[in-house]
Amino acid sequence: MPDEIFRSPKKHGRVMVMLSGRGSNFMAIHDAILDKRIDAEIALVVSNKAEAPGLAAARDRGLATMALSAKEIPDRSAYDRKIIAEAESRGIDLICLAGYMRVLTPEFCLAYQNRALNIHPALLPSFPGLHVQQKAIDWGVRYSGCTVHFVAADVDMGPIVLQAVVPVLQDDSEDSLAARILVEEHRIYPEAVRLFFEGRLEVRGRRVFII
Ligand code: GRF
């Protein structure tokens, strides 16, 4: 059977952000919303880390937040179901993973298939996983970058929406390369969310067409 074609909705979107750390991608998306570059609102920011700086930033920005520690709900499926229930009750159209350091259950990925995005600091499918800036340096690749992709149960392997390329310099450290990539992350993640709510992303199998 051919894969179904999915077209993102053209609407004022309700976004849920999930993060575990500093939250700079969350802020880039929120800034783009505040600047009216994206027709959406952030209805909830969720973190598995109560002390995440990104969660504090969300509170400072007057957004609704929720911290849910894995200790409260050790069962992974139950944990994810709680978040799905929260998203459903708030009418979330799109989930943006922004440095969320937990692997989502397959049930979660299925429930939000084509409705959840992630940003990854490498040119997927090269260098999935963690510490990927160091891996790019160790491999001696000349270029790396970042990828916004739809979330799929196969971690870091969902359909690719946007990518940006940066050079890897001979004297790069993990931090210097990460900083160069981050500038591009802050550019393409809001851009992908904008395209989503302009109804311009069409997913056909593992390819995403920008209409
Ligand atoms: C970014 O490098 C992102 O690509 C990766 O996690 C990091 C999150 O950074 N998924 P921030 O919390 O958005 O500043």
Q: Is the CB of 24 under 6 A from ligand 1?
A: yes
Tell me the percentage of the chain whose pLDDT exceeds 70.
Answer: 99
Write the burial class of residue 95 (CB in 10 Å: 0-12 exposed, 13-18 middle, 19+ buried).
buried
Of the candidates 75, 51, 77, which has an alpha carbon nearest to the alpha carbon of residue 65?
A: 51
Write the burial class of residue 94 (CB in 10 Å: 0-12 exposed, 13-18 middle, 19+ buried).
buried
Q: Is the CB of 190 under 6 A from ligand 1?
A: no
Residue 210 confidence (pLDDT): 98
How far does the centroid of ligand 1 lie from the alpha carbon of residue 203, in Å?
24
Q: Is the pLDDT of residue 103 over 90?
A: yes
Of the candidates 174, 148, 171, 18, which has an alpha carbon nearest to the alpha carbon of residue 86?
A: 18
Q: What mean pLDDT is reported for the chain?
A: 97
Whole-number Å distance between alpha carbons of 187 and 182: 9
* pLDDT tier, 2 (very low <50, low <70, confident <90, very high otherwise): low
**Two tokens at 16?**
């849920």
| Active site (catalytic) residues | 120
Residues 155-166 have pLDDT tens digits of: 999 999 999 999
Residues 167-198 have pLDDT tens digits of: 999 999 999 999 999 999 999 999 999 999 99
